[in-house]
Structure 1
């Protein structure tokens, strides 16, 4: 395990993370990745603690990844289903959280369609002096810290499988392509990748990549570039991360058609010829095949790290639960 002292109780945003915290997560995740390779994939680090997954919007990868991570750490888990909860009877979200607190919950993993809900619950837990930790599993268009951290772990592991660390990304060119406007994943990745000293190139149609993103990542060692054409972003890129078109969050007609989007911004085998020869492609999922990325490229192990992202998710979320839960090696 990493030896750096961890003092953060909640993980809500990566905007104030420092390099030593990133490296602590990466080192701890590498330790748990080794655990997950064993025949017995369980350790007693959070035995006796309760992890509540409070997901107020649909999720497959993140929810199951957190649940499996908690069980691998021997924690007891509670799962929340909004459709059958007391929210349908008028209970507030904070009252729901307090109910889980009364059940003995130690860690709350929160996902909500509105930005700020995990922070509000964390503030309430602090006000009650409960010692409960809150982990943001995605809130509106704000952030998705654990996804960005598993992306960071996946990329750094591709560069050095034995010792993933932040410094490996310095000066690497990383293109993030697609629906930047609605993506909480993109926002968290900008913070983490800029913090590593990488060159981050955002690319997308002007309607999905407004100029306001030019102010992101200020006072970080990395550099940020905006492109409304795909080719400059891909030129000599070391990694390409393509994002899902989040049609459920679009309140206006921001694209002429999915077909035209794929023609202009879809990542294909032909297009990645612009990148470095050993370029790797990522996608946080779920994927719209044939829209953001071609199916043949997505399934090609020579280029695609998408399956590794899912696998990395369990190790990274084990690391986060361990660190904020005060687990013992």
Structure 2
């Protein structure tokens, strides 16, 4: 997100919104574009919303399985991506466990879309979060946003902080002290519930070694999760968000996942729209407002 100006961000959000209306059937002029999805980590929403967006834009899509590739023989990420470039692919989408893996790919000459790098960045998740908030409140300026959970390991927290502060929101963080992150201002979660316009819960990332901070699932929900009691104290027009997958009954009471204030599944829909806009931008097409 740090590579995008405020104008860039709003341009992508505008395109994403238009894909949901009069431009929803727009296809790339180069409908035979070859796109490869290189996911080195498990994913449902990001992977398949990218794939849905690619198919809807007329691309031909290949899904890369690292376990059935030359990666198992020691091939580097650079050589893998260079192979796709060399055999005619026009774009790659990459998710990788290494922070800022893309720094190794500076000599690649086809567009690379970052679908998440380690605990570092998740730009398309950030953009869909911004779209969800903008649709709800009409603006991203002046919003109070609390992000609660495993801040230390969360690339979502990192990208959302970067963008929201750039766009004029106030962002605070909550969760166990073991998962605090330098430079990420914290607030007591019970205090934040009544302060926030957006309450964003984060998944506990056990695959990154976060564990449970010494708590059981029920203890975590009581101390740091969105319980029904906390939900009842939210502002009338506040919303609940979560990048998913959701650990029901841990980060959020299962009855609240689809509650009136929840926008969790709306975020998923917006993810497909944002990824359409990002793919379009990656191929060098001008924003819709410039094409009219």
How many pairs were matched up? 287
**TM-score, normalisation: structure 2:** 0.93
1:209 aligned residue (180, 195, 205): 180
Aligned 8 A contact 1:236 1:274 in 2: no
In structure 2, relative to structure 1, the CA distance for the partners of 1:251 and 1:283 (3 Å cut) is: closer
What are the within-5 Å matches in structure 2 for residues 101-112 of structure 1? Answer: 101-112=85-96
Name stretches of at least 5 consecutive residues in structure 2 with no aligned partner. none
Counterpart CA distance in 1 for 2:268 and 2:262 is 12
Shift of 1:253: 6.3
SS at match of 2:38: strand
1:81 corresponds to:
65
1:196 corresponds to:
167
2:215 corresponds to:
256
The yes-or-no answer on 1:16 pairing with 2:40 is no
1:309 corresponds to:
267
Counterpart CA distance in 2 for 1:281 and 1:314 is 19
2:19 corresponds to:
32
What are the within-5 Å matches in structure 2 for residues 272-283 of structure 1? Answer: 272-283=231-242
1:325 aligned residue (266, 277, 283): 283
Name stretches of at least 5 consecutive residues in structure 1 with no aligned partner. 1-13, 161-167, 215-224
In structure 2, relative to structure 1, the CA distance for the partners of 1:54 and 1:308 (3 Å cut) is: same
2:132 corresponds to:
154
SS at match of 1:62: helix
What are the within-5 Å matches in structure 2 for residues 159-238 of structure 1? Answer: 159-160=137-138, 168-210=139-181, 212-214=182-184, 225-227=185-187, 229-238=188-197
Counterpart CA distance in 1 for 2:210 and 2:174 is 21
Counterpart CA distance in 2 for 1:35 and 1:80 is 33
Aligned 8 A contact 1:182 1:246 in 2: yes
**TM-score, normalisation: structure 1:** 0.83
Shift of 1:45: 4.0
Aligned 8 A contact 1:230 1:265 in 2: yes
Aligned 8 A contact 1:255 1:261 in 2: no
Shift of 1:118: 2.6
Counterpart CA distance in 2 for 1:135 and 1:239 is 27
RMSD: 1.7
Counterpart CA distance in 2 for 1:77 and 1:260 is 44
Shift of 1:272: 2.4
1:67 corresponds to:
51
In structure 2, relative to structure 1, the CA distance for the partners of 1:207 and 1:46 (3 Å cut) is: farther
Aligned 8 A contact 1:179 1:245 in 2: yes
Aligned 8 A contact 1:42 1:74 in 2: no
In structure 2, relative to structure 1, the CA distance for the partners of 1:252 and 1:58 (3 Å cut) is: closer
In structure 2, relative to structure 1, the CA distance for the partners of 1:294 and 1:252 (3 Å cut) is: closer
1:102-128: CA deviations, max 9, x gaps?
Answer: 12122111100111213322x121xxx
Shift of 1:236: 2.7
Aligned 8 A contact 2:150 2:210 in 1: no
1:162-192: CA deviations, max 9, x gaps?
Answer: xxxxxx1211111111111110011000011
Counterpart CA distance in 2 for 1:251 and 1:183 is 10
